[in-house]
């Protein structure tokens, strides 16, 4: 495993043991770091290369991928800037490590930045599994996501993510041409065994 500090994001890189599997871009939630989703990535996609960056924004000492003004209200100028920065990091890492286009696996804040990258830099990702996402942008830009697979997993009892918000995100991605599989699971904001089973099954299609 490589720990890299000379890129746009401090990150861990775990080389593939099965080069036929697409790499995963692991994007943590608020307060996480580059270590958080490595065990999940190994469990969900055995053999895949894992690229796990740390968010460059701090909120009370907790790493995030973009600023928010308060709970559920995002600094959209910062969302845009950080999404472009993350897409540039992906290009940088692909060149350095010889990777094919990755599939993003993001939880909460990580899912939101992945959704922003899909909408702002659709060429950066081969697809995305968005676990407990929210709409990152009030007015989504025109994007061509034709044929891009996207899994969205919401929690029926999630106190953080409004149902109408995540429904709007699913509609935005579908309107851009993405192949969206949106499921609402009997869970809260935290991940459950149902999330793991659904994501494993979805990733196996690649």
The answer to whether residue 192 is catalytic is no
Give the span between the Cα atoms of 155 and 94, in whole angstroms.
33
28 is catalytic: no
Phi first, then psi: give them for residue 10, nearest 5 degrees.
-60, 135
Active-site hit among 33, 78, 88, 189:
189
Q: Are 55 and 28 in contact (CB under 8 A)?
A: yes
The active-site residue, picked from 85, 158, 182, 195, is 158
First CA to last CA across the chain, in angstroms? 23
CA 201 to chain centre: 17
DSSP 8-state assignment for residue 78: H
Angle CA 122–127–133, to nearest 5: 90
The question of whether 108 is a catalytic residue gets the answer: yes
Q: Which residues of 160-181 are buried (b: 16+ CB within 10 A; e: fewer)?
A: ebeeeebeebbebbeebebebb
Which residue's structure tokens are 């559920």? 72
Q: Which residue in the list 108, 154, 182, 195 is annotated as catalytic?
A: 108
Between CA 13 and CA 124 the distance in angstroms is 17
Catalytic residues: 108, 158, 189
């Amino acid at each position: 495993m490589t720990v890299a500090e000379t890129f746009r994001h401090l990150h861990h890189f775990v080389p593939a043991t099965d080069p036929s599997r697409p790499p995963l871009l692991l994007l943590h939630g608020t307060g996480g770091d580059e270590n958080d989703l490595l065990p999940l990535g190994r469990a969900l996609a055995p053999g895949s290369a894992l690229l796990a960056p740390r968010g460059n924004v701090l909120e009370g000492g907790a790493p995030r991928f973009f600023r928010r003004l308060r709970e559920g209200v995002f600094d959209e100028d910062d969302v845009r800037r950080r999404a472009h920065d993350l897409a540039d990091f992906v290009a940088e890492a692909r060149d350095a490590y010889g990777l094919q286009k990755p599939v993003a696996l993001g939880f909460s804040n990580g899912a939101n930045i992945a959704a922003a990258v899909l909408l702002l830099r659709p060429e950066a990702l081969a697809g995305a599994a968005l676990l407990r996402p929210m709409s990152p942008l009030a007015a989504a830009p025109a994007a061509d996501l034709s044929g891009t697979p996207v899994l969205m997993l919401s929690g029926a009892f999630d106190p953080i993510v409004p149902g109408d918000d995540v429904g709007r995100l699913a509609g935005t991605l579908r309107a851009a041409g993405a192949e969206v599989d949106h499921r609402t699971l009997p869970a809260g904001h935290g991940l459950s065994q149902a999330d793991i089973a659904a994501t494993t099954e979805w990733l196996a299609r690649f």
